[in-house]
């Protein structure tokens, strides 16, 4: 092989001899290569496991929201804590149907407003009978729009519609657990009748919660009926238990919350300074807090993971320095044969990149495999997943991590490569 031919061969990245040389160098000291590769393997493996676990924790917490509109606020009546306009402190009051129109007309930022009432009061349950079977369940009077705020999976039939509201129909939509307790296993509940507090209602729908765990258990024991039917049948007059309100897209629900509370205080003669009279819960605030927490966790995982990766890459750089020192005479011969500094540099960098890429790939594969195994075992064993669900890592994140590793491998090879070409050929040939 002439010097020009050898030179051209070294410039060819797809030349078999080049890769055989890399293989020979890495195989020459197996233990050293293994320990170096293991540092990189462990770094990306731990990064994948930590990120997958963080996503699993986020999924577990997020499942409690189901498909519920997170830009929602819930408003209910409590006792006054400040005397006002002749009313004493400690007065109880109720919202009424007229409040609905007042809120909708005065707050253009409202997207959905669903007044709601509960037979038996807050967290109250009612006795429900069908034949010889009975159970105690929460009964809610709702508008059709409620299913847009807190959607459910309809298994059979339909949800409450506008005609039910208008005609005050005695129809109900029952949860899956209600069906299991009141009906036979394979019995179709649609168009069957159940008795609630002595009044018969026709079942028009069967639903299952979109949540999982304990939250789903509570949802599946609910019964929904038309809001107007609930008020009329159970002698509630025009009283409303509480409001579910969502804001229009792009508008913080806090704006709607503030305006609604101000209007309701004025309509029910409550002191503007009385913050205890109206109970409210801003789901958007809590949801943003949760997202902020998990964003912080993700940033921390990246910092720790990249730090671990860098430790492995520094190990690669140190080992390549040792390799360069061992090959000083060989490098001198290559320089004497006409190898340019770029050929030597590319050779060293390629070896470092190959080592980091292969070890990183196996670390990535092992991490993803372990997460998949954990997810499979959680589903197979029926473990409680209220706080941990479907651990995994996004494909784009995995590719990003591997890309960072490849770049870091190239950087790791740059230092020993520059050291290799800094030695004069004549001095390298004399090196023992």
For 14-62, give the DSSP string.
T-HHHHHHHHHHHHHTHHHHHHHHHHHHHHHHHHHHHHHHHHHHHHHHH
The residue range of the domain holding 415 is: 3-64+289-430
Q: What is the mean pLDDT of residues 183-189?
A: 92
HEC assignment per residue over 341-357: HHHHHHHHHHHHHHHHH
Residue 5's pLDDT band (boundaries 50, 70, 90)? very low
Pick 205 or 381 by higher pLDDT: 205
8 Å CB contact between 96 and 238: yes
Threshold 0.75, pTM exceeds: no
Pick 66 or 318 by higher pLDDT: 318
Q: Which residues contact 374 (CB under 8 A, 6 or more apart)?
A: 56, 391
Q: Does one domain contain both 130 and 260?
A: yes
For 119-161, give the DSSP string.
ETSTT--EEEEETTEEEEEEEEEE-TTHHHHS--EEEEE----
Q: Does one domain contain both 305 and 178?
A: no
DSSP state of 278: E
Q: Does one domain contain both 197 and 115?
A: yes
- For the ranges 177-181, 377-381, 420-424, which has the lowest average pLDDT? 420-424
Q: Does one domain contain both 174 and 300?
A: no
Residue 348's pLDDT band (boundaries 50, 70, 90)? confident
8 Å CB contact between 78 and 351: no
Domain count of the fold of the chain: 2
* Model pLDDT, residue 173: 97
Strands 193-196 and 199-208: antiparallel
Q: Does one domain contain both 142 and 56?
A: no
Q: Which residues contact 300 (CB under 8 A, 6 or more apart)?
A: none
Can you name the residues that pair with 129 across neighbouring β-strands? 134, 195
CB-based burial of residue 424 (10 Å sphere; 0-12 exposed, 13-18 middle, 19+ buried)? exposed
Q: Does one domain contain both 134 and 260?
A: yes
Token pair 């910092």 is found at 303
How many CA atoms, within 13 angstroms, populate the side-chain half-sphere of residue 395?
A: 0
Q: Does one domain contain both 238 and 341?
A: no
8 Å CB contact between 137 and 150: no
Q: Does one domain contain both 190 and 260?
A: yes
- Mean pLDDT across the chain: 82
* Model pLDDT, residue 6: 46
The Cα–Cα gap between 387 and 367 comes to 21
Q: How many CB atoms lie within 10 A of CB 299?
A: 10
Q: Does one domain contain both 248 and 388?
A: no
Q: Does one domain contain both 45 and 88?
A: no
Q: Does one domain contain both 181 and 328?
A: no
């Amino acid at each position: 092989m002439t010097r020009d031919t050898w030179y051209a061969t070294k410039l060819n990245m797809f030349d078999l001899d080049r890769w055989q040389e890399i293989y020979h160098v890495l195989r020459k000291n197996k233990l050293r290569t293994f320990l170096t590769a293991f540092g990189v393997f462990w770094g990306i493996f731990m990064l994948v496991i930590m990120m997958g676990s963080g996503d699993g924790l986020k999924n577990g917490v997020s499942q409690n929201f189901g498909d519920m509109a997170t830009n929602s606020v819930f408003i209910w009546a409590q006792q006054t804590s400040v005397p006002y306009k002749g009313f004493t402190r400690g007065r109880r009051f109720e919202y009424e149907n007229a409040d609905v129109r007042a809120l909708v007309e005065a707050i253009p930022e409202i997207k959905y407003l669903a007044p709601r009432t509960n037979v038996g009061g807050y967290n109250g349950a009612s006795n429900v009978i069908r034949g010889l079977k009975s159970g105690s369940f929460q009964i809610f009077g709702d508008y059709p729009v409620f299913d847009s705020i807190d959607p459910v999976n309809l298994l059979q039939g339909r949800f409450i519609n506008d005609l039910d509201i208008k005609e005050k129909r005695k129809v109900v939509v029952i949860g899956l657990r209600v069906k299991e307790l009141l009906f036979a296993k394979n019995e179709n509940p649609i168009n069957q009748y159940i008795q609630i507090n002595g009044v018969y209602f026709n079942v028009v729908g069967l639903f299952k919660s979109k949540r999982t765990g304990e939250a789903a258990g509570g949802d599946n024991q609910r019964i929904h009926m038309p809001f107007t039917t609930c008020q009329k049948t159970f002698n509630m007059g025009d009283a409303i238990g509480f409001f579910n309100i969502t804001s229009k897209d792009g508008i913080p629900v806090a704006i709607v919350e503030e305006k609604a509370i101000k209007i309701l205080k004025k309509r029910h003669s409550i002191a503007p300074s009385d913050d205890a009279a109206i109970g409210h819960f801003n789901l958007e605030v809590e949801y943003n807090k949760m997202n902020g927490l998990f964003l912080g966790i993700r940033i921390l995982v990246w910092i720790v993971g990249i730090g671990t990766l860098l430790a492995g890459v520094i190990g690669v750089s140190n080992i390549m320095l040792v390799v360069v020192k061992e090959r000083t005479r060989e490098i001198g011969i290559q320089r004497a044969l006409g190898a340019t500094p770029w050929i030597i540099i590319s050779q060293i960098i390629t070896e470092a990149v190959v080592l980091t890429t292969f070890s990183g790939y196996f670390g990535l594969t092992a991490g993803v495999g372990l997460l998949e195994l954990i997810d499979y075992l959680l589903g197979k064993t029926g473990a409680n997943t209220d706080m941990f669900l479907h651990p995994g890592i996004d494909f784009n994140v995995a590719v990003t991590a591997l890309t960072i590793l490849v770049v870091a491998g190239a950087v790791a090879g740059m230092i020993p490569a520059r050291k290799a070409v800094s030695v004069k050929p004549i001095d390298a040939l004399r090196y023992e």
